[in-house]
């Protein structure tokens, strides 16, 4: 069941990156099919603990029966809150494997994939208000332009946005097929599928506020992770990876330069363990094409 739900990406490197202490407390921010979580549990001793988050009810079915394991069925933006609730002051490592699982793309009714017809929804969890249809039917021209450009890097997205505005005046978009059919008319002929994937990705990121929640959770890392504890993040989008990279280098997102104290010492909460992002090798990409865009970064708390 789990293998079909999602094949974990960069499994060995991410687990090594966590440098798991058998008696330590770890957090998996993105439980999904539980591939990474199960591997963490294998490295933990009897005293170890793993707290995993997933906001998507489908993922909850994959939770292992293990008394060292706790699944928090909420958005990981509430990490600090739930650690307080569980009486945990600090943890030894945090893993985030961002975005959606393969299961999401394979479930037509969730609306994540242009390959199937389904409701234009894309909400990962119950607390999310706007659906993809609300955005397509309700956002202004400028708002639509920004999300397609920023989150999808959609080429000539002005054309797409104008086509959406004209179409929705006739009738609102309801299904993934409505959007796909319209987007196909403005897609570059040589790479229609890539174009559609970019359009759908942009909407998914906006629906689930993925950039916002990543920023929120990263800001919690300095107070949540113990000195010498590890932060391991796998990102699939260049904006997310840049956010993680800047955060590790400088402790903030606006710039990759760290603040310095009065004596010129760099004032940063983490040091990078790997200088560059780690990417999947050819063999892994061949077996799991999803791994192609993955960038993994490892940092240690100072
Ligand atoms: C890429 S998958 C993780 C796959 C997992 N590492 C595995 O090996 O199966 C990402 C998962 O994180 C969940 N997720 C994404 N953003 C979330 C958020 N802000 N809060 C809670 N869960 C989130 C998704 O529902 C999805 O199940």
Q: Pick the atom of ligand 1 nearest to 77's CA.
A: 19
Co-location of 147 and 278 in the same domain: no
Q: Find the mean pLDDT for residues 20-46.
A: 98
Relative to beta strand 91-97, strand 69-72 is unpaired
What pLDDT sits at residue 1? 42
Q: Which of 190, 207, 224 is the last residue of a domain?
A: 207
Q: Which of 157, 183, 207 is the last residue of a domain?
A: 207
Q: Which residues contact 106 (CB under 8 A, 6 or more apart)?
A: 113
Residue whose structure tokens are 């450009």: 149
Q: Does the beta carbon of 35 lie inside 6 Å of ligand 1?
A: yes
Co-location of 47 and 58 in the same domain: yes
Which protein residue's CA is at the shortest distance from atom 2 of ligand 1? 101
Q: Does the beta carbon of 14 lie inside 6 Å of ligand 1?
A: no
Which protein residue's CA is at the shortest distance from atom 22 of ligand 1? 54
CATH number of the domain that residue 183 is part of: 1.10.150.170
Co-location of 16 and 165 in the same domain: no
Which protein residue's CA is at the shortest distance from atom 27 of ligand 1? 32
Q: Find the mean pLDDT for residues 193-222.
A: 97
As a whole-number percent, the residues of the chain with pLDDT over 90 amount to 91
If we measure between CA atoms, which residue out of 29, 17, 59, 57 comes closest to residue 217?
29
- Is 37 a residue whose pLDDT tops 90? yes
Quote the CA–CA distance of 103 and 241 in Å, as a whole number: 23
Answer whether residue 105 is part of any domain: no
Q: Show the domain range for 274.
A: 2-99+210-301
Co-location of 229 and 173 in the same domain: no
Q: For the CA atoms of 247, 7, 206, 184, what is the dihedral angle to 10 degrees?
A: 130
pLDDT tens-digit series, residues 80-136:
999 999 999 999 999 999 999 999 998 999 999 999 999 999 999 888 999 999 999
- Is 2 a residue whose pLDDT tops 50? no
């Amino acid at each position: 069941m789990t293998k079909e739900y999602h094949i974990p990406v960069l499994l060995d490197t991410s687990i090594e990156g966590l440098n798991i202490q058998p008696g330590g407390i770890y957090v998996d921010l993105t439980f999904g099919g539980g591939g990474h979580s199960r591997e963490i549990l294998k490295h933990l001793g009897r005293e170890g603990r793993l707290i995993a988050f997933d906001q998507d009810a489908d993922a909850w079915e994959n939770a292992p029966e293990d008394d060292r394991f706790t699944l928090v069925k909420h958005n990981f933006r509430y990490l600090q809150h739930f650690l307080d609730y569980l009486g945990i002051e600090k943890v030894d490592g945090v893993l985030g494997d961002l975005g959606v699982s393969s299961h999401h793309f394979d479930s037509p009714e969730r609306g994540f994939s242009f390959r199937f017809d389904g409701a234009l929804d894309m909400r990962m969890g119950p607390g999310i208000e706007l659906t993809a249809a609300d955005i397509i039917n309700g956002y202004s021209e400028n708002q639509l332009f920004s999300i397609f450009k920023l989150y999808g890097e959609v080429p000539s997205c002005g054309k797409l946005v104008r086509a959406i505005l004209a179409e929705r005046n006739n009738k609102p978009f309801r299904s993934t097929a409505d959007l796909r059919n319209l987007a196909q008319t403005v897609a570059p002929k040589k790479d229609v599928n890539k174009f559609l994937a970019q359009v759908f990705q942009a909407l998914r990121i906006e629906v689930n506020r993925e950039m916002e929640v990543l920023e929120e959770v990263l800001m919690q890392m300095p107070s949540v992770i113990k000195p010498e504890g590890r932060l391991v993040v796998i990102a699939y989008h260049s904006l997310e990876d840049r956010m993680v990279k800047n955060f590790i280098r400088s402790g903030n997102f606006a710039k990759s330069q760290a603040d310095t104290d009065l004596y010129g010492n760099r004032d940063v909460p983490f040091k990078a363990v790997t200088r560059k992002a780690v990417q999947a090798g050819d063999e892994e990409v061949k077996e799991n094409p999803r791994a192609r865009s993955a960038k993994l970064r490892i940092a240690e708390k100072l």
